[in-house]
Amino acid sequence: MHNIKKWTSNGNWVEIDLNLCAGSGECVEVCPAQVYDIIDGIVDADDIEDYIECGACQNVCPYNAILNHFAW
């Protein structure tokens, strides 16, 4: 069973499967908008309003825990 957390802003959204996320931090390191933080060993995207739709976080996650949707 998946434990998915979703953040939304301006029609964009990011979903993180918390069962897959190992908190390795690649998404934090690669995000040019500094949307992500690691809190208690898992990723958090509470700065989603700064999201710039680059998709780098999804591409770098070794666990395929991140799914982006862009409202282009």
**pLDDT for the residue numbered 57:** 92
Confidence of residue 1 (pLDDT cuts 50, 70, 90): low
- Tens of pLDDT, residue by residue over 15-29, are 999 999 999 999 999
Q: Percentage of the chain with pLDDT > 90?
A: 53
Q: What is the pLDDT of residue 25?
A: 94
Residue 51: per-residue pLDDT: 85
pLDDT at 72 over 60: no
User: Running DSSP on this structure, what letter comes out for residue 8?
Assistant: E
What domain range includes position 11? 4-69
CATH (domain of 29): 3.30.70.20
Q: What's the number of domains the chain is made of?
A: 1
For residue 43, count other CB atoms closer than 10 A to its CB: 25
Spell out where 1-72 has E strands.
4-9, 12-17, 37-39, 42-44, 66-69
